[in-house]
Amino acid sequence: MMLHPEIESLDRDDMAALQSRKLAALGKRLAASPEWCAHFAKAGMHPRDLAAPDGLAHAPTLEKADLRAHAPFPMLTVEVSRVARFFATSGTTGQPVLFGFTEGDLKRLACQVARHLRCAGVRPGDRVYQGFGYGLWIGGPAHDLGLRELGATCIPVGPGRSELVIEWLRDLAIDAATASPLFLAHLVRAARERGIDPKKEWRLRTAIVGGQSVSLAFREQLEAGMPHGFRAHNNYGATESGGPNLATACPHSLERDEMHLLNEDALVTEILDPKTLQPVGPGEVGEVVVTTLDKEASPVVRWRTRDLVHLSAKPRDCECGRRGMPLIGRIIGRSDDALKVRGVLVFPSQVEDVIAGTPGTVKEAWQIYVDTMDGSPKTMTVAIECETGCPGDASKLASTVAHSLQSRLGLKVPVECHPQGTLPRYEAKARRVLLKEEP
Ligand SMILES: [Zn+2]
């Protein structure tokens, strides 16, 4: 299921050679930009040094602060008049940062996303419910472009309008979906409440789920509620990398809870130790650091995503035939999401794993409450929901989760159990860590 087999099956050496050629061309383009020359000068370098074999490994990394310092059009390398469309980061902290796309950038994005869709089993002619958001966010528009490039039929509802979507999934015989995994899980539940059985009445065969990393247990429960054979393929990308274009699971890596970096002919994705910025070895955890090779407007060089992943124990030569596109695990957390609770490092994803693995909990509804948002809370409470009709009582479920959290984290954490439907729900990215309100 390769859209571009001539590129997707390149081996490691051919891929590296292609990347080197494009890095040299990128250095030439950046050399025309005073902002980029000043940025490289901070590391005693010039953009043209990207042509050297070790050029990228020594290039300065790019951080949010670098972009904010150059508002409103940070590190833009073309005239604003050549930008066909701007997208922006979500801006949960501070103002959104604008990223420009030329006509050419949008065409290349369409090909990149189409490659991901094909990898996840979406076919030309499929009817696809597109559930990612629109506007400044790149998720929805990028999937519109990709579906069009692939030749699939896009039904662009975006997130929300659950009642309409659960009926359309049945009445329009929709084959595939692109959406947040939390929202898909919500749709399954909402359908059942309205007397529609997704297993029997929907035709969904595959989905690309992204914007949010979910555990294997969550994905398996989502798949169990869908028509027989349905698979949910994790997807990963970022506005800074140019869209939802970094990684998607193929049918083989899906079984191992891994994803392929699928556009390494257009991006260099380094997995680096966040402290030393040295590449990590197979099976180790590192931060995803991205360089865009082809972008005309708003390119990035060594953008620090802060997202932490395991590099696969066998990163290359997947059974699907993709040899030089490395494999990574799902996103296990953001390095700046980690909480230091009384000296113990806690990732929200660890809490999610425990909840998702405990029968009787509502998988998409849980929160962490802390006494301060500075990253080092003194107290932390976990709130969960108990499924309606689940055998046993709520306090027993709470103590089961508390016990598992203690053995997983090495930390005693109070757990509150609430009735189903009482904690916040999120259509896109969930905010799992919230400030505990004073009683
Ligand atoms: Zn594969």
Q: Where does a domain end: 311, 334, 357? A: 334
Number of domain units in the chain? 2
| Nearest CA-CA partner of 30 in 41, 16, 15 | 41
pLDDT tens-place values along the chain, 439 residues long: 899 999 999 999 999 999 999 999 999 999 999 999 999 999 999 999 999 999 999 999 999 888 888 889 999 999 999 999 999 986 655 678 999 999 999 999 999 999 999 999 999 999 999 999 999 999 999 999 999 999 999 999 999 899 999 999 999 999 999 999 999 999 999 999 999 999 999 999 999 999 877 888 899 999 999 999 999 999 999 999 999 999 999 999 999 999 999 999 999 999 999 889 999 999 998 999 999 999 999 999 999 998 999 999 999 999 999 999 999 998 887 776 778 888 888 888 888 889 988 989 988 889 999 988 887 888 999 999 998 877 678 889 999 999 999 988 889 999 999 999 899 887 666 788 888 875 5
Q: Last residue of some domain: 270, 299, 334? A: 334
Rounded to the nearest whole angstrom, what is the distance from the C-alpha of residue 116 to the centroid of ligand 1? 12
The CATH number of whichever domain residue 423 belongs to comes to: 3.30.300.30
Q: State whether 69 and 196 are in the same domain.
A: yes
Distance 2 CA to ligand 1 centre (A): 10
* Residue 438: predicted pLDDT: 58
- Pair (350, 326) in one structural domain: no
The confidence score (pLDDT) of residue 171 equals 98
Residue 242 region by backbone torsions, left for phi larger than 0, else alpha for psi between -120 and 50, else beta = left
Query: Are 92 and 208 in a shared domain?
Result: yes
> Both 116 and 159 in a single domain?
yes
Distance, in Å, from the CA atom of 47 to the CA atom of 204, rounded to the nearest integer, reads 47
Residues around the ion ligand 1 (C-beta < 5 A): 250, 252-253, 318, 320, 322
CA of 287 to the centre of ligand 1 (A): 21
CB 2 within 8 A of CB 321: yes
Cβ(311)–Cβ(286) under 8 Å?
yes
Q: How far is the CA of 317 from the centre of ligand 1 (A)?
A: 8
What is the reported pLDDT for 64?
86
Task: Report how far residue 418's alpha carbon sits from residue 196's, in angstroms, rounded to the nearest whole number.
Answer: 26
**DSSP helix, strand, coil percent of the chain (3-state; round to 5):** 35, 25, 45
Which of 334, 360, 382 is a domain's end point?
Answer: 334
- Dist CA 83 CA 203 (whole Å): 39
DSSP state of 421: T
Predicted local distance difference test score (pLDDT) of residue 436? 86
H or E segment at 185?
A: helix 181-193
HEC string for 344-384: EEECHHHHHHHHHCCCCEEEEEEEEEECCCCCCCCCEEEEE
Domain co-membership, 36 together with 83 = yes
Domain holding 125: CATH number?
A: 3.40.50.12780
Distance between CA 400 and CA 393 in Å, rounded? 11
19 with 136, same domain: the answer is yes
Q: Are residues 24 and 124 in the same domain?
A: yes
pLDDT at residue number 439: 54
Say if residue 44 is in the same domain as residue 146. Answer: yes
Half-sphere exposure of 352 (CA within 13 A, CB side): 22
Tell me, yes or no, whether 288 and 345 share the same domain.
no
CA of 323 to the centre of ligand 1 (A): 8
Q: Which amino acid is at 245?
A: N
Cα 337 to middle of ligand 1, angstroms = 29
* Amino acid 338: pLDDT: 78
Same domain, 388 and 422: yes
Q: Which domain holds residue 411?
A: 339-435
Is 243:138 a contact under the CB 8 Å cutoff?
A: yes
317 CB-contact burial (10 Å; exposed 0-12 / middle 13-18 / buried 19+): middle
pTM of the predicted model, to two decimals? 0.84
The DSSP secondary-structure symbol of 396 reads: H
Q: Quick one: pLDDT at residue 428?
A: 63
Q: Distance from the CA of 250 to the center of ligand 1, in angstroms?
A: 5
* 49 plus 150 within the same structural domain: yes
Asked if residue 395 and residue 316 are part of one domain, the reply reads no
Q: What 3-state class would DSSP assign to 393? A: coil
